[in-house]
Structure formats: structure tokens, C-alpha cells
Amino acid sequence: MKVLTYHSIGIPPKEARLKTLYVNPKAFERQIWLLKTLGFRFLRLSEVLSGNFSGKSVLLTFDDAYSDFFENAYPVLKRYNIPAVVFVPVMCVGKFNLWDWKELRVKKPIMSWDQIKMLVEEGFEIGSHTLTHPFLSRIPPEQAAREIEDSKKILEDKLGVEVVSFCYPYGDYNNMVRDMVARAGYRIAFTTKKGSFEDSPNIYEVRRITIFGNDLLPKFFLKCL
Ligand SMILES: [Zn+2]
């Protein structure tokens, strides 16, 4: 089983760096259509956690909760009745990518609480992507603990649902950070290390496959196998 990672679903502005992290909305819809047509199952976190799936399955994850998820991905997923997990950097809700807008040369808007609440009502799952999107292994442990624990509490308070999943910003973690995530009550955590779910060393170091904007459909398909 493959966990797919998306970032922006949209057209990158001219000045943006890392344009490959933008997947064209039409290409995204073709990817979803292809998997649906080929009989892939789109998993929910509960199914992943219970191990209730076969090889021909995917879990869709969206890092950073960009507004373009709401504009371009959510309508497609809703139409096909497909679940997904969105990882939210809590202090950036309703703002923009405060952590890397200077490097990327673009301010990417992040969804509002109202939009995120609507997603929850529609059955989408929300995970924590910390408070401020730091490199967790490089900040003092007490600060890392706050990023991990407080983001969960705030999301649960605002949304009224349990938050069971976590995603390491920049894929950065070490054993101490991983253990903090487990102790905070999360039941699964996602890295940026490449590989299938079954290749992951444990449930707090789940491997994923990043989908890039320049992946043509055949390449996308091979990545899902
Ligand atoms: Zn991120």
C-alpha cells in the first residue's frame, strides 16, 4: 500500500520556487480518475491502523493545508467520494506559509478554521503538522514537545474530533521526537522517506510517495503500485 503525499493542487505563480510541488488541478483529477477506474481503494486512517486493506490501496495525504486544497482538490475528492488526510500547521491557519515564504518567494494561503471545520463535516481527516512547522530535531526538546502536544490539543478543541495522525515538518525527526509523538497520543506519524507503507520501520515512521507536478500519468500510476 502506498501513502501518497501532495502539497499544492494549483498552478504555481511565476516567481515561485519548488514548482514541482504544485500539481495541476486537471492532472490531479486525472490521477484520481485513473485509480478509481482501475479499482484502487482509497483508505481512511482507521483502515490503515487496523491493517484492513489489500495491496491495491492508497491513502491520500496533503501537507500544509493550503487553501488550494479547498479550491481544487476538495471538490474532486467530494465528487468521487474519496477520503483524505490534511496536515495542518496550526499557527498558520487563516494565514500563509510563514515558515518558508521567503525561500519559496511566494506566500501560499492556508485554509481558515471555517474551511477546515467544513472538511471535517464532510468526512475528511485532519492531522497535526505542528504549530509553526519547525525542524523538530533542531529546536530544544521542551519546544518540540509543545509543538507536538499543543497542536493536537488545539485541533481537537477547535474541531471537536480526535486527532490521531501527525506529519513531521520537512520530514525532520529523530528517535526522541518520534517517541514524543507516540507519548502525545498520536497513533500514526508520517515522514517524507520514500517507500511503501509495508516498508516502514514502525507506525511512527510511515513512508510515503511524493507526487510531483511533472509526474506524467504513467509515472504516477507506477508510483502507486
Ligand atoms: Zn509541511
Q: What is the largest CA-CA distance in the chain?
A: 48
Q: What CATH number corresponds to the domain at position 33?
A: 3.20.20.370
Confidence of residue 49 (pLDDT cuts 50, 70, 90): very high
Distances (CA, A) of 198 to 55, 162, 189: 10, 25, 14
CB 168 within 8 A of CB 5: no
Residue written as grid cell 499544492: 8
CA of 127 to the centre of ligand 1 (A): 12
The whole-number pLDDT of residue 15 equals: 87
Residues 6+ apart with CB under 8 A from 93: 65, 110, 111, 112, 113, 116
Q: Is the pLDDT of residue 18 over 90?
A: no
- Average confidence (pLDDT) over 134-162: 98
CA of 95 to the centre of ligand 1 (A): 14
CA of 37 to the centre of ligand 1 (A): 30
- Average confidence (pLDDT) over 20-38: 97
Q: Is the pTM of this model over 0.85?
A: yes
Q: Is the pLDDT of residue 55 over 80?
A: no
The whole-angstrom separation of Cα 148 and Cα 134 is 11
Confidence of residue 17 (pLDDT cuts 50, 70, 90): confident
CA of 111 to the centre of ligand 1 (A): 14
Name the residue range of residue 49's domain: 2-224
CA of 132 to the centre of ligand 1 (A): 10
Q: Residue 154's closest CA among 188, 194, 113?
A: 113
CA of 65 to the centre of ligand 1 (A): 9
CA of 55 to the centre of ligand 1 (A): 27
Q: What is the pLDDT of residues 59-99, one digit of tens each?
A: 999 999 999 999 999 999 999 999 999 999 999 999 999 99
The whole-number pLDDT of residue 148 equals: 98
- Range from 2-6, 52-56, 174-178 carrying the lowest mean pLDDT: 52-56
Looking at the structure of the chain, the number of domains it has is 1
CA of 61 to the centre of ligand 1 (A): 11
CA of 85 to the centre of ligand 1 (A): 13
CB 88 within 8 A of CB 127: yes
Confidence of residue 5 (pLDDT cuts 50, 70, 90): very high
CA of 26 to the centre of ligand 1 (A): 23
The whole-number pLDDT of residue 109 equals: 97
